[in-house]
Amino acid sequence: MIKILVTYAVQGEFAEITWPDVQVYYVRTGIGKVKAAYHLAEAIHQVEPDIVVNMGTAGTVNHQLGDVFVCRTFIDRDMMKLSDLGLQYKLDSSALLEEKGFCKHWTEHATCNTGDSFLTELTHVEGDVVDMEAFAQAFVCNAKQIPFISVKYVSDIIGQNSVKHWEDKLEDARKALGHFFNVLKESI
């Protein structure tokens, strides 16, 4: 039986996954890269999952409220500023997902841009969505050779009262993520 470890940052993002023939474990990581990496690493040690699936909310510059993105590419916008020093700031989880045979029928491929700040001002951002945890989780999974994928619900448009929109959209996010996992993607 496949063991899936599902991560989410805050309780409002949680949606139960009810797929047949899998064991699903959940870990609330908290907000930010450090907490996400720590709590994920601890959960991996305890659960020993076959795959890690992150669910949560994200902001965007170029897309619409309510859009759902399946992210396989991750950018650390904090480390991107130091790319001239040779620091890794981009990860793609596609190869390991393919190698292990996960998410083959999930055809979407988006980019999540992660940083330790909640973006509220319109700025150029590489990627489809922005969050505060996914890159750190992708990094931990990549280091441990565990497949990783992230599903993000667009809860706010950057530059348009983002914090207020995010708080108001948590219930919508939970419902949409539940629908995504249990109706649209009935298996991994």
Q: What is the pLDDT of residue 87?
A: 80
Least confident of 23-27, 120-124, 157-161: 120-124
Which is nearest to 154 in space by CA: 72, 83, 70, 64? 64
* Global pTM value: 0.93
Is the separation of the CB atoms in 79 and 87 below 8 Å?
yes
Residue spans of the domains in the chain: they are 2-184
Assign a CATH topology to domain 2-184: Rossmann fold (3.40.50)
Q: What is the pLDDT of residue 81?
A: 80
Q: What is the pLDDT of residue 161?
A: 64
Is the separation of the CB atoms in 16 and 179 below 8 Å?
no
- For residues 150 and 71, give the distance between their C-alpha atoms in angstroms, rounded to a whole number: 5
Q: Which residues of 30-41 are buried (b: 16+ CB within 10 A; e: fewer)?
A: eebbebbbebbe
Q: What is the dihedral of CA 136, 58, 73, 32, to 10 degrees?
A: -10
pLDDT over 90 for what percent of the chain?
74
Residues 69-92: tens digit of each pLDDT: 999 999 999 888 887 787 889 999
Q: Is the pLDDT of residue 124 over 80?
A: no
- For residues 175 and 99, give the distance between their C-alpha atoms in angstroms, rounded to a whole number: 31
